[in-house]
Amino acid sequence: MTTNIPSNNEKPNKASGQDRPLNFLEQIITKDLQEGKHSQIVTRFPPEPNGYLHIGHAKSICLNFGLAERFGGVCNLRFDDTNPAKEDQEYIDSIIEDVKWLGFQWGQESNAEVKFASKYFDQFYEWALHLIHDNKAYVCHLSPDEARQYRGTLKEPGKNSPYRDRSKEENLAEFEKMRAGEYDEGACVLRAKIDMAAPNINLRDPILYRIRKQSHHQTGDQWCIYPTYDFAHGQEDAIEGITHSICTLEFADHRPLYEWFIENLPVPSQPTQYEFARLQLNYTVTSKRKLKQLVDEGHVDGWDDPRMPTISGMRRRGYTPRALRNFCDIIGVTKSDSQVDVGMLEYAVRDDLNDNAPRAMCVLQPLKLVITNFDEAGDGVESSGGEPTLWVTQPGHPNRPELGERKLPFTKEVYIERGDFTEDTSLSRKKFKRLVSGDYVRLRGAHVIKAERVEKDEAGEITEVHCTLVPNTVGANPPEGMKPRGVIHWVSATQHVNCQVRLYDRLFNDDAPDAGEKNFLDFINPDSLTIVDGAKAELSLRDAQLEQSYQFEREGYFTLDRRYSTETLPVFNRAIGLKDTWANKV
């Protein structure tokens, strides 16, 4: 495979199309390749299958796979599945799907297999025996509470376990009993023998193996002892020949332990760990525990709820892989923690959809217009199902001719947004650029019309607006004195698609919902979901496809919902509005 060594000014991400200097990881890799330290870089994305991936994982995915892609290397997708108590096949499947959806391929070949820590359990066990033989590991029977007391604090050193000086033979025998299932969970653990007085608490005789009498999703009931993440992680990297093991900053204090294992075991390679700042997004919660709580307690309707910061939730909402990859490139990669404004994510989504989403018209709160002189609509009126219809043409996208055109049925009765009409004639044209009694407005792509009179029900609610069209104004200006106030969207009242529209917004209305002692549940935005029944969409949307985004003119960007849509009633989710409505709230 070709090794790519970019210059410091070369464009690093084709998705964003923006030039920037190399980040610190790119600089490290460039230097390593130039000096011949590695002939090819190998990275990995190592999620624990204990929940769905969220936007923070998206940054890590884009970084690890992106570096491999950029430098002609390889990135492995590897599940660190060392805790069967919290893991599930559902999470594995969702993670694989998320990585594919973001556009990345693991391994060197297109059919490369997904890797699992559990595939190395036999090797981990042998290496645990190796440490025992070298008098660098021992079986400890302290209870969890006792172990915490012996561990010490950040200011005080720990003290040695009374089991620390067991003989090699005793430890081998005790470890075999652990494996044979002769001890209950929590009765004992295998610990590394390092230094109970080490300033770094992670080096104070950390746990290597604990007892978990639970079936594993990959190995079944083969094991009842499982390695800890700290013990397994570096060895997995070594087995797979990882050159640059990239973690988030919270693992910086674990790096000396990572290196201790590499130095004290006969591993086949010498990986190096590097840390970068994780993504911290305001108005967002990314703790897997808290996300699971939202799901389990019914605050959302699943891990893929479009309000969730999970990749599957954002996908269902209508965010695109391109938007997420661009966002991850915009925020960059640094060594210091900082908070990112969620508005940057929303900007990336809005910017992408503005450029790429086909246009369509959908009326959310329908108000019927009756065009009393429709017979003056001009040439081109056809009979559609026995109804006089003028087919008007609109571009699929104003700046993308390759997206084609839509033909829309313009009929005697059409729907407009209820909020696009008022009887208040005192409103100036500058203040209200829509339809006013006695005045003119243009229906998008069709005629200029004038509101003549209204009909109301017994409660005084307007049920119909009777209008007249100005002949010969499709694609042409009206005569002098009939200038329209503005342009509004519409759909035929007789030829349309009935649909439900779901208006999604930020799940939390506080910029730091889980900071300090806050209960994040107190800050759930009551307006995070508004369900609109009875919406009317243009006919082209009867062929709407899953994950195809559309701009509903003047409403926002929408996509077909994969869970609730049916053949008879499509459901459209709003991915994002046309403008940032939160800017004035904070």
**If DSSP states are collapsed to H, E and C, what string results for 510-576?**
CCCCCCCCCCHHHHECCCCEEEEEEEEECHHHHHCCECCEEEECCCEEEEECCCCCCCCCCEEEEEE
Other beta carbons less than 10 A from residue 13's beta carbon: 18
* Residue 547 in domain: no
Q: Is residue 527 part of a domain?
A: no
- DSSP-assigned beta bridge partners for residue 576: 557
Determine the Cα angle at 433 with ends 427 and 435, to 5°. 80
Is 543 among the domain residues?
Answer: no
Cα–Cα distance measured from residue 339 to residue 582, given in angstroms and rounded to the nearest whole number: 17
Beta-carbon contacts of 373 under 8 Å, excluding residues fewer than 6 positions away, are 468, 469
Residue pair 284/505 in contact by the 8 Å Cβ criterion: no
Q: Which of 492, 508, 539 is the last residue of a domain?
A: 492
Domain that holds residue 434: 360-492
Residue 59, annotated ligand binder?
yes
Q: Which residue has the tokens 């709580």?
A: 293
User: Are residues 243 and 110 located together in one domain of the fold?
Assistant: yes
Q: How many other CB atoms are found less than 10 A from the CB of residue 393?
A: 11
Q: Quick one: DSSP state of residue 348?
A: H
- Pair (112, 144) in one structural domain: no
Contact 243, 43 (CB under 8 A): yes
Same domain, 248 and 101: yes
**Can you give the pLDDT at residue 580?**
87
Residue ending a domain, choose from 202, 227, 252: 227
Examine the domain organization and report whether 330 and 248 are in the same domain. yes
Q: Residues 128, 110: one domain? A: no
128 within 8 A of 230, measured Cβ to Cβ: no
Q: Are 251 and 275 in contact (CB under 8 A)?
A: yes
- Is residue 504 in some structural domain? no
Q: Is 273 exposed, middle or buried (0-12, 13-18, 19+ CB in 10 A)?
A: buried
pTM: 0.93
Question: Position of tokens 């008879």?
Answer: 568
Q: Is residue 513 a part of any domain in this protein?
A: no
Residue 236 sits in the same domain as residue 215: no
- Residue 26 assigned ligand-binding role: no
Q: How many domains does the chain have?
A: 3
248 is known to lie in a ligand binding site:
yes
Residue 548: inside a domain: no
- 397: annotated binding-site residue? no
> Quick one: which of 541, 369, 380 has its CA closest to 442?
369
* 264 and 387 assigned to the same domain: no
50 annotated to bind ligand: yes
pLDDT in tens, the chain (586 residues): 445 555 444 433 444 444 678 999 999 999 999 999 999 999 999 999 999 999 999 999 999 999 999 999 999 999 999 999 999 999 999 999 999 999 999 988 877 899 999 999 999 999 999 999 999 999 999 999 999 999 999 999 999 999 999 999 999 999 999 999 999 999 999 999 999 999 999 999 999 999 999 999 999 999 999 999 999 999 999 999 999 999 999 999 999 999 999 999 999 999 999 999 999 999 999 999 999 999 999 999 999 999 999 999 999 999 999 999 999 999 999 999 889 999 999 999 999 999 999 999 999 999 999 999 999 998 889 987 789 999 999 999 999 999 999 999 999 999 999 999 999 999 999 999 999 999 999 999 999 999 999 999 999 999 999 999 999 999 999 999 999 999 999 999 999 999 999 999 999 999 999 999 999 999 999 999 999 999 999 999 999 999 999 999 999 999 999 999 999 999 999 999 999 888 766 5
pLDDT at 379 (0 to 100): 87
Residue 434 and residue 302: Cα distance in Å, rounded?
40
- What is the predicted pLDDT for the residue at 14? 42
Residues 36 and 143 in one domain: no
CATH of the domain at 482: 2.40.240.10
549 strand-pairing partners: 559
Write the CATH number for 146. Answer: 3.90.800.10
Residue 54 marked ligand-binding:
yes
Domain with 248 in it: what CATH number?
Answer: 3.40.50.620
229 is an annotated ligand-binding site residue = yes
Residues 483 and 388 in one domain: yes
Cα separations in angstroms, 258 against 22, 202, 500: 27, 10, 53
Q: Are residues 70 and 103 in the same domain?
A: yes
Whether 295 and 381 map to the same domain: the answer is: no
Is residue 2 domain-resident?
Answer: no
If you compute the radius of gyration of the chain from its CA atoms, what whole number of angstroms results?
31
Q: Hey, which residues are catalytic here?
A: 48, 278, 288
**Three-class secondary structure assignment of 208-272:** EEEECCCCECCCECCCCEEECHHHHHHHHHHHHCCCEEEEEHHHHHHHHHHHHHHHHCCCCCCCE
- Is 521 among the domain residues? no
Picking from 436, 463, 492, the residue at the C-terminal end of a domain is 492
Q: Say yes or no: 460 and 483 in one domain.
A: yes
Residues, the chain = 586
Closest Cα partner for 139 from 75, 182, 76? 182
Residue 384: is it exposed, middle or buried by C-beta count within 10 angstroms (0-12/13-18/19+)?
Answer: middle
User: What one-character DSSP code corresponds to residue 46?
Assistant: -
Q: What pLDDT sits at residue 200?
A: 97
